[in-house]
Chains A and B, each alone.
Chain A
Amino acid sequence: MSTSLSPTLAAVTGSRVRRSRRRALVIGLLATLVVAAYGVNLMVGETFYPPSEIWRVILGETVPGASFTVGELRLPRATLAALAGFCFGMGGVTFQTMLRNPLASPDVIGITSGASAAAAFAIVVLGLTETGVSAFAIGAGLAVAIIVYTLSFRDGVAGTRLILIGIGIAAMLDSATAYVLSQAAQWDLQQAQRWLTGSLNGATWDETAQVALALLVLGPLLLGQARNLFMLQLGDDTAAALGVRLERTRIVVIVAAVGLLAFATAATGPIAFVAFLSGPIAARIIGSAGSLLVPAGLVGALLVLVADLIGQYAFDIRYPVGVVTGVLGAPYLVYLLIRTNRAGGSL
């Protein structure tokens, strides 16, 4: 039936080529938008600096005014925004894909809340600095992931049960964060905002470097599992029947994704809903062809960059970035919950 000239083969090849071209195009477009948003974040502010001056700062020349404003304030801030956004997007879509449910995002099921509470505790109570804070955040993120998973396990993990348990744990951890902050010796509103909603205020190169390093190590580890993760969309049984080793894939993927989320959270706080929104947005743009890890990462970076721009300059008052992403994300959460309800509890 199928010769080398089969029309079906030609159609299959044609549609595959079209899909991968479209995918490459969309990823290229998203990357361009991220670069553009990054550029705008560097240029815009109290004082506008043209690209030429920014370029000179990046090359290490001394430019009066710009060297400090761009080099010390805007560059680390925008870089941290892009990197943390990428981590949130990638970590978020990992959980959503693995659990086959857009609601099973790490910021809904308590993983970023855990990382955030631990980071706040490490700073306020233990007085630790960067590395210690990150280590604490990762430990807590993993612990929450394990606790939520264990509590929702009964003859396998049902998505809805895991999400409800996660939401409960997230609420407990958020109040723990609020309690820890209330115990802080010198009450600092900016700090509090960071650990409650996420903020890029006071971003430093040290924090940025930590997130960059995490992305450099854990990103490739996660990308190495991209195909397995992609196969898990078909359900555990089908994926396993197609040669995916479930347990190993889950362990590697959870550790890598929690690591990315925790490092980003330790640097910026739990920027609301970025992990939750990036995957579905990326899926909407790119369709079902191929892994969503990189597209979701790019969407996450773009979201944080644009939200920070809006938060800082769109209104008279400056809002932390998490407030803006929260406003964007909440309606989507409501929409998903309504749809879940209509569909009788399964997404």
Chain B
Amino acid sequence: MTATHSLLVSSLRLGYGDRTVIESLDLTLPPGKITAIVGANACGKSTLLRSMSRLLAPRAGHVLLDGREVHKMPAKELARTLGLLPQSPVAPEGITVSDLVGRGRNPHQRLLSRWSREDDAAVAAALDATHTADLADRSVDELSGGQRQRVWIAMALAQQTDLLLLDEPTTFLDVSHQVEVLDLLTDLNRNRGTTIVMVLHDLNMAARYADHLIALADGKLHAAGEPSAVLTEDCVRAVFGLDSQVITDPTSGKPLMLPLGRHHVAITRP
């Protein structure tokens, strides 16, 4: 089991160039839980994730990990506690799966230290956990999208962090691979207590897999809490500008959002 860490942002303002993406945001990420961040395109989800993992310096406010500002922590020390899988990571041409996963060990290695037994053990455990052990000697270029995503998650697992941030880990995957990846992350959360924070596009997947849902609209917090409390028809209208009907998913008991477009809708709009 992993230690619990507190991660929170306070009065955070973020932007690129002269564009402000996030305006004064306060959030607490519940430790040991799975949190999903949802919102419309360009609402600042990825920006927030990048800032929480030190990749983007705040214009104002703080990101605090266990009370320390992440932007002032030593890079490797932070990388031993908090991992990030970016949206579309690039694999160097010809790299093998075990080599790629091994690079997740970087924050645990010193300048001249040799590769250690712990490094090998962490890589092996990550391959086993993601069911990619049989791919270990394959080249990453040859893999299918789903396999590749599992390999990247294996790399993040080899990093052995107590918190793992993922930017749209299921984008470009077909539905069975989406479920596979989200199940894998749930295993990780339940078996090791890893705190997971992910940006997801699919509201229904987010509602099903997350313990805690954060809805952002225009760089501001719209709602945060349990999926059943957050994912409401009003919320979908406010965040996405879309009419919808939210029912209870008979398979999971979680909320399920059914969009009401202009066509193919048999009920009268609210």
Contact with A along B84-117 (1 / 0, CB 8 A): 1110011111111011101110110101000100
A6 to B129, CA, bound (A): 12
Given A12-B136, A243-B79, A288-B99, answer yes or no on A234-B91 (Cβ-Cβ < 8 Å).
yes
Decide if A237 touches B75 in the complex (CB within 8 Å).
no
Given A2-B125, A244-B106, answer yes or no on A237-B84 (Cβ-Cβ < 8 Å).
yes
Decide if A241 touches B103 in the complex (CB within 8 Å).
no
Chain A residue at minimal CB-CB distance from B110? A227
- Asked if B201 is at the interface (CB within 8 A of a chain A CB), the reply is no
Min Cβ gap A233→B in Å is: 4
- Asked if B186 is at the interface (CB within 8 A of a chain A CB), the reply is no
Residue from the list B17, B76, B98 in contact with A155, Cβ < 8 A = B17
Question: Contacts of A287 on B, CB cut-off 8 Å?
Answer: 94, 96
- Asked if A250 is at the interface (CB within 8 A of a chain B CB), the reply is no
Decide if B89 touches A234 in the complex (CB within 8 Å).
yes
- Asked if B78 is at the interface (CB within 8 A of a chain A CB), the reply is yes
Residue from the list A9, A15, A233 in contact with B137, Cβ < 8 A = A15
A193 to B127, CA, bound (A): 55
Chain B residue at minimal CB-CB distance from A7? B133
Decide if B96 touches A240 in the complex (CB within 8 Å).
no
Which of A1, A15, A241 is packed against the most chain B CB atoms within 10 Å?
Answer: A241
Chain B residue at minimal CB-CB distance from A244? B75
- Asked if A238 is at the interface (CB within 8 A of a chain B CB), the reply is yes
Given A2-B124, A8-B133, A224-B111, answer yes or no on A240-B54 (Cβ-Cβ < 8 Å).
yes
- Asked if B193 is at the interface (CB within 8 A of a chain A CB), the reply is no
Chain A residues 1-36 with CB under 8 Å of chain B are 1-2, 6-9, 11-13, 15-16, 19-20
Question: Contacts of B189 on A, CB cut-off 8 Å?
Answer: none
Question: Contacts of A238 on B, CB cut-off 8 Å?
Answer: 84-86, 89-90
Question: Contacts of A237 on B, CB cut-off 8 Å?
Answer: 50, 55, 84, 86, 89
Decide if B120 touches A16 in the complex (CB within 8 Å).
yes
Question: Contacts of B93 on A, CB cut-off 8 Å?
Answer: 288
Decide if A241 touches B53 in the complex (CB within 8 Å).
yes
Given A234-B103, A244-B106, answer yes or no on A6-B16 (Cβ-Cβ < 8 Å).
no
Decide if B98 touches A12 in the complex (CB within 8 Å).
yes
Decide if A155 touches B16 in the complex (CB within 8 Å).
yes
A2 to B123, CA, bound (A): 10
Question: Contacts of A13 on B, CB cut-off 8 Å?
Answer: 120
Chain A residue at minimal CB-CB distance from B152? A238
- Asked if B128 is at the interface (CB within 8 A of a chain A CB), the reply is yes
Residue from the list B91, B92, B104, B125 in contact with A242, Cβ < 8 A = B104
Residue from the list B16, B78, B92, B98 in contact with A16, Cβ < 8 A = B98
- Asked if B169 is at the interface (CB within 8 A of a chain A CB), the reply is no
Min Cβ gap A220→B in Å is: 12
Chain A residues 213-229 with CB under 8 Å of chain B are 224, 227
Min Cβ gap B80→A in Å is: 8
Question: Contacts of B111 on A, CB cut-off 8 Å?
Answer: 224, 227
A238 to B96, CA, bound (A): 17
Given A1-B129, A9-B120, answer yes or no on A242-B136 (Cβ-Cβ < 8 Å).
no
Decide if A11 touches B17 in the complex (CB within 8 Å).
no
A235 to B90, CA, bound (A): 6
Which of B80, B96, B120, B159 is packed against the most chain A CB atoms within 10 Å?
Answer: B120
Decide if A6 touches B124 in the complex (CB within 8 Å).
yes
Given A240-B54, A242-B103, A242-B106, answer yes or no on A6-B128 (Cβ-Cβ < 8 Å).
yes
- Asked if B121 is at the interface (CB within 8 A of a chain A CB), the reply is yes
Residue from the list A6, A8, A20, A235 in contact with B86, Cβ < 8 A = A235
A240 to B165, CA, bound (A): 13
Decide if B79 touches A242 in the complex (CB within 8 Å).
yes
Decide if B159 touches A242 in the complex (CB within 8 Å).
yes
Question: Contacts of A125 on B, CB cut-off 8 Å?
Answer: none
Chain A residues 289-326 with CB under 8 Å of chain B are 289
Residue from the list A16, A235, A242 in contact with B115, Cβ < 8 A = A16
Which of B80, B83, B124 is packed against the most chain A CB atoms within 10 Å?
Answer: B124
- Asked if A70 is at the interface (CB within 8 A of a chain B CB), the reply is no
Residue from the list A100, A243, A244 in contact with B90, Cβ < 8 A = A100
Decide if A288 touches B92 in the complex (CB within 8 Å).
yes
A19 to B99, CA, bound (A): 9
Decide if B99 touches A241 in the complex (CB within 8 Å).
no
Question: Contacts of B103 on A, CB cut-off 8 Å?
Answer: 230-231, 234, 242
A233 to B79, CA, bound (A): 17
Given A11-B133, A224-B111, answer yes or no on A288-B125 (Cβ-Cβ < 8 Å).
no
Question: Contacts of A6 on B, CB cut-off 8 Å?
Answer: 124, 128
Other A-B pairs, 8, CB within 8 Å; known A8-B124, A233-B95: A11-B133, A235-B89, A235-B90, A237-B86, A241-B55, A242-B104, A243-B75, A243-B79
Residues in B lying within 8 Å of A, measured CB to CB: 16-17, 50, 53-55, 75-80, 83-86, 89-96, 98-100, 102-104, 106-107, 109, 111, 115, 120-121, 123-125, 127-129, 133, 136-137, 159
27 A–B contacts, CB within 8 A, in A order? A1-B125, A2-B128, A6-B124, A6-B128, A7-B133, A8-B127, A8-B136, A15-B98, A19-B99, A20-B115, A155-B16, A227-B109, A230-B103, A234-B90, A234-B92, A234-B103, A240-B55, A241-B79, A242-B103, A242-B107, A243-B76, A243-B79, A243-B106, A243-B107, A287-B94, A288-B93, A288-B99
